[in-house]
Chain A
Amino acid sequence: MIVRILGEGQFEVADSELDRLNELDAAVEAEVDRGNAEAFAAKLTELLDGVRAVGAPLADDSLEDSDLILPPGDATLEEVREMLADDGLIPG
């Protein structure tokens, strides 16, 4: 599956790695809910490092859709909250 880190690019990640990334993702989300900016930044870094470690960068000229999109590495807690709150665009 293809994962995009915003501001950084796309990575091809094997499906077998998803469980581990899901764990890291849940940890980030928990910190978003808790509202601890420092812990959030640390967990986000862990998640993105995880993607970079197991993923292979996609060629620049590929025109493929990503299955998952992650916030940029320097995103603040507020920015991610905004991204998540912007659900007026999702139909249904």
Chain B
Amino acid sequence: MSMMKRISLIFRAKANKALDRAEDPRETLDYSYQRQVEMLAKVRRGVADVATSRKRVELQLNQLQSQSDKLTQQAQKALGMGREDLAREALTRKSAIQAQANDLTAQHAQLQGEEEKLTLASQRLQAKVEAFRTRKETIKATYTAAEAQTRINEAFSGISEEMGDVGMAIQRAEDKTQQMQARAGAIDELIASGALDDASAINAGDDITRELESMSSQSDVEAELAALKGATTAPALDSAEPPAVEAGEAETTAAPVESGKEQQS
């Protein structure tokens, strides 16, 4: 029972050491109970802290998702206009955002796990603190200080182990949350600085949108121009005037020659 046994011994030694014993063991009971209640409050704060971090990550994930969606639309639009280069740029940005989102999704799952664990730990501790309180009152009422000692030791060992366990769980959750908060802060900064935002600002602020818009206004102009030309070239055929199309000089010079031949024959 090597590893399990060793960890048990070390853990128990630590938990026992953490117990401050008073002169009268019954006072130790009250003191310990007070510490348990404090620990319970600490675990509950821990649960709330982890939940706050989880919500922050959720918010960031939503932001990244909407940016990613927008870039997809931009890529489709660009492709529709025959601008593969622009579509490629949009998709490149999207894949960078997607990588961030994947990282955040993993963090989110981890935070959810921590939250769940701490919630259960707080439930367990609460049940144990309650049990300890009941036992404490019984011991104080029934036994003299000398007699109480054995009973107290029994009650203590169970609760001190739980306290050590919960204390460790809280510490681990805090460490993890802090690491994630640092990374979440970095993403917030990226969004705030516009490095991510730039790729898909809500209000047409980014270069891809600008280019797509200028292209679509250009193509609007072209379409209208073509329509106008269509309206003017149709009657122009009747008046036998060569249409001034920019399609090439060869065609316009060839046309009169042919019509000239026809007139001759």
Q: Which residues of A contact B (CB under 8 A)?
A: 3-4, 6-9, 18, 21-22, 25-26, 28-29, 32, 59-72, 74, 80, 83-84, 86-87, 89-91
Contacts and interface: CB of A to CB of B under 8 A. Distances in A.
B143 interface: no
B14 A84 contact: no
A70 B113 CA distance: 19
B7 interface: yes
B165 A4 contact: yes
A91 B17 CA distance: 11
A6 B8 contact: no
Candidate in B3, B128, B158 with the most chain A CB atoms within 10 angstroms: B3
A22 B165 CA distance: 22
Contacts of A25: 1-4
B131 A26 contact: no
A68 B6 contact: no
Q: Chain B: interface residue count, which band?
A: 35 or more
B182 to A, nearest CB: 19
B3 A28 contact: yes
Nearest to B130: A61
Contacts of B128: 60-63
Nearest to B173: A7
Given A26-B2, A84-B6, A89 B14 contact: yes
A29 B2 contact: yes
B8 A66 contact: yes
Contacts of B17: 89
A58 B157 CA distance: 15
Interface residues of chain B: helix, strand, loop or mixed (majority): helix
Interface of B: 1-14, 17, 113, 117, 120-121, 123-124, 126-128, 130-132, 135, 154-155, 157-159, 161, 165, 168-169, 172
Contact of B10 (A18, A28, A86): A86
A63 B11 contact: no
Contacts of B113: 74
A26 B126 CA distance: 34
A69 B132 contact: no
A89 B10 contact: yes
A12 B225 CA distance: 85
A66 B3 contact: no
Contacts of B120: 9
Candidate in A9, A21, A91 with the most chain B CB atoms within 10 angstroms: A9
Contacts of A91: 13
Nearest to A28: B3
A74 B159 CA distance: 23
Contacts of A29: 2-3
A22 B1 CA distance: 6
Given A9-B124, A26-B2, A63-B128, 19 more contacts: A3-B4, A25-B1, A25-B4, A60-B124, A60-B128, A61-B130, A62-B128, A62-B131, A63-B158, A65-B157, A65-B158, A65-B161, A68-B1, A68-B4, A69-B8, A70-B4, A74-B113, A86-B14, A90-B9
Nearest to B166: A7
A25 B1 CA distance: 7
